[in-house]
Amino acid sequence: MSLKKGLIIFLTVAAIGLETSGTWAQRGQRGAPAPIPAYKSEEYLLLGNSNRGAGEPMVAVDPVDPKNIIVVAMGNLQQPEGKPVLTNGTDAYHHIQKSTITWLAVTHDAGVTWDVSELPILSGKLTRCPDSFADVMKDGTFIAGCEPRETMTSAPDFFGMSALMISRDHGKTWGPVVQLISDFQLNRFAPGLRPVSGGFPKGSPTRVASNSPWDRPFTFIDDSTGVIYAQAGGGQAYTDAKETERRSQSYVTASTDAGKTFGTVYSWDSPQYPQTTRGSGMAAAGGAVVVNYGASSVPASENATCPCPVWGISRDRGKTFTYHVLKNLVAAGRTGGQLAADQTKPGRFAMLLSQGPKYSVMVTEDFGQAWSPIIDAGTVPEATSFSKSAIDFSRDGVLGFIWRASYADGFYDIWAVISRDSGKTFSKPLRVSHSKSPARDAYRNGGLFGDDIQDLSMDKVNMHVVWGDSRAGFQAVFYGRVKLADFEF
C-alpha cells in the first residue's frame, strides 16, 4: 500500500465517525466478526508450478502428533520437450533425466507452514521416479517412496524398481533407499513366478512398453504385528515358453524389521485362481494380509462363471493364500474394489464398490468369510461419473472415503463421506474442493500423465485430502482439510 492510499483510507474512516485509535489488528478485533467461510473445508495449492506439475499425491499424518504431516506427489515437467503433451505421452518422459521426480512437502505445525523439496531417492543410473507413495507407522515413523527408473536413451530396454525411504524424525531426514520389488533382484521372486521385467517385453515387434513387476507400489502396515507389506498391483507374468504372451499378475513382499529389508516376492494369485485383471484391492491387519482381484478361472467346486471376483487371505506374509469367489458380488453383478483395514478390530475390512456416479460399501467382520449387505454410501446427483476414489480407516476406527465427481462439461470436484459405525451408516457427502477444476489443460498438464490417484488420511479430529487440480492453470496438487465433526448425518 502506498502512503497516499493509506492516508485516504484513514481519513475516510475518521470522517464517518468510526473508532480510529489503536492498531489495525486491534480495530479488526473490535469490529464486526469475520464472515463464516462458505465451505466447511480448508483447501490450498500445495505442490507444483507452471514448470513442473504435481499429481498422484498421497498424504500421511503422524498418529502420535498430528501436527506432523507429509505429502508426496509425482512431479512431471509440464512440457517435457518444450511443447504441450496432447495425449498420455509417457514416452516423452522416458528419455529425459529428471523429467519426473517425487515432490515432498513436510509440515510440523498442522499445515500452517510447509517445507517443500524433492525426496532424495534418485542416484546413479536411476534418474526418474514416478508413482510416489507415502505411509506412516503407528509410532509416527514416516515412509515415502516411488519407482526409481533408468532413463531410456539409446538402449531398447530400461529398468527400475519400487523403493522406499524411512524418516524417524518426522520427515526432516531420510534413511537409505530400500528396494521393494525390482528388475534388479528377480532372484527374490518365489519359485515358479515368471514376471515380465524391463521396459519392453521380449519379442515385441512394436516395442510396446510393458508393466514391470514393480508397477504401482503401495504399502500397507499391520499395526498388530508391525509387518510392512509392499505391493505391485500392476505387474504382469509370462504365460508361454517363448515369453511373448503375458497376463496380469500382482505381487506382494513383506518386511519384519520396520522397513529395513523386504523378503521374498510372492504373487497374489495361484494356478487354481489365475489373475486376469489388475489387482483390485489389498489391506493388512490382525496378522493377515488380504487381496481381491478378478480371476479368469476357478476350481469347479466354486460353481462360478468367470471372470469372477476372488478373495484371498494369507497368514504367512503372502507365501500362501486361501481363496474363494465373492458370491455376493457375483450375485450383485459387481467386481471387487478398494479395501481398508480397521486396525481397532481384527477381521474387519471394508470394500469400496463403484457403479456409475454412485459408491457403495460392504464390510466383513471375519476376514472375508461373510459380508454385510452392500450399503449405498456416496453420490452426487449432478455428476455424470465418479473416479479416483480412496478409502481408509483412521487408527481410531472411523471409516472415510473420497472421490472425484465429474460433470457433463468435463469439470470435476472432490467429495468425501465418513462412517462412525464401521460402514453401517454414512454421512452426507461433503464437498472438499471449493470450486470445480478443468479436466484438461493441454499446455500445462503433461497429457494427464500423473493423475491416476488421490488420497486421504485421518487423525482423531480431521480428514486430510490431497488431489490433482488444474484451477491454477497447470496441473498441481491441492491439500484440503475437513473436521470430522463437520460431516453431517
Give residue 147's pLDDT.
95
Q: Does residue 331 surpass a pLDDT of 60?
A: yes
Q: Does residue 460 surpass a pLDDT of 90?
A: yes
DSSP 275-322: B-S---EEEEETTEEEEEEEES---GGG---SSEEEEEEESSTTS--E
Q: What is the pTM of this model?
A: 0.90
Q: Does residue 68 surpass a pLDDT of 90?
A: yes
Ranges 88-92, 187-191, 307-311, 431-435: which has the least confidence: 88-92
Ranges 60-69, 82-91, 324-333, 474-483: which has the least confidence: 82-91
What average pLDDT score do residues 257-284 get?
A: 96
Within 10 angstroms of residue 35's Cβ, the number of other Cβ atoms is 6
* Residue 478 near residue 46, CB atoms below 8 Å: yes
- How far is the CA of 70 from the CAs of 245, 332, 468, in angstroms? 41, 39, 16
d(CA 357, CA 380): 7
d(CA 223, CA 228): 9
Q: What percentage of the chain has pLDDT greater than the value 90?
A: 74
Residues 11-47 have pLDDT tens digits of: 333 333 333 333 333 333 445 565 655 789 999 999 9
3-state DSSP call for residue 21? coil
Task: Retrieve residue 482's grid coordinates.
Answer: 475437513
User: Which residues, at least 6 apart from 474, have a Cβ–Cβ distance to it below 8 Å?
Assistant: 48, 49, 50, 53, 78, 441, 444, 445
Task: Retrieve residue 326's grid coordinates.
Answer: 465373492
- The H or E element spanning position 69 is strand 69-76
pLDDT band (50, 70, 90) for residue 454: very high
Q: Does residue 209 surpass a pLDDT of 60?
A: no
d(CA 163, CA 174): 13
What average pLDDT score do residues 455-463 get?
A: 98
Give residue 94's pLDDT.
83
DSSP 179-219: EEEESTTGGGBPTT--B--SSS-TT-TT-PPP--TT-SEEE
Q: Does residue 208 surpass a pLDDT of 70?
A: no
Do you know the residue count of the chain? 489
Give residue 369's pLDDT.
96
Residues 104-152 have pLDDT tens digits of: 999 999 999 999 999 999 999 999 999 999 999 999 999 999 999 998 7
Give residue 34's pLDDT.
58
Residues 421-451 have pLDDT tens digits of: 999 999 999 999 999 999 877 778 776 678 9
Q: Torsions phi, psi of 320, nearest 5? A: -135, 145
Task: Retrieve residue 172's grid coordinates.
Answer: 526432516
Give residue 430's pLDDT.
97
User: Which residues, at least 6 apart from 109, have a Cβ–Cβ distance to it below 8 Å?
Assistant: 67
* Residue 401 near residue 415, CB atoms below 8 Å: no
Give residue 245's pLDDT.
87
* Residue 162 near residue 183, CB atoms below 8 Å: no
Task: Retrieve residue 98's grid coordinates.
Answer: 529428471
Burial, 64: exposed, middle or buried (Cβ in 10 Å; 0-12, 13-18, 19+)?
middle
HSE of 96, CA atoms in CB hemisphere, 13 A: 17
d(CA 196, CA 359): 34
Residues 294, 412, 45, 488, CA torsion sign? negative
What average pLDDT score do residues 219-239 get?
A: 95
In 3D space, the residue among 403, 449, 459 whose CA is nearest the CA of residue 430 turns out to be 403
3-state DSSP call for residue 471? coil
d(CA 212, CA 201): 9
Task: Retrieve residue 120's grid coordinates.
Answer: 532424495
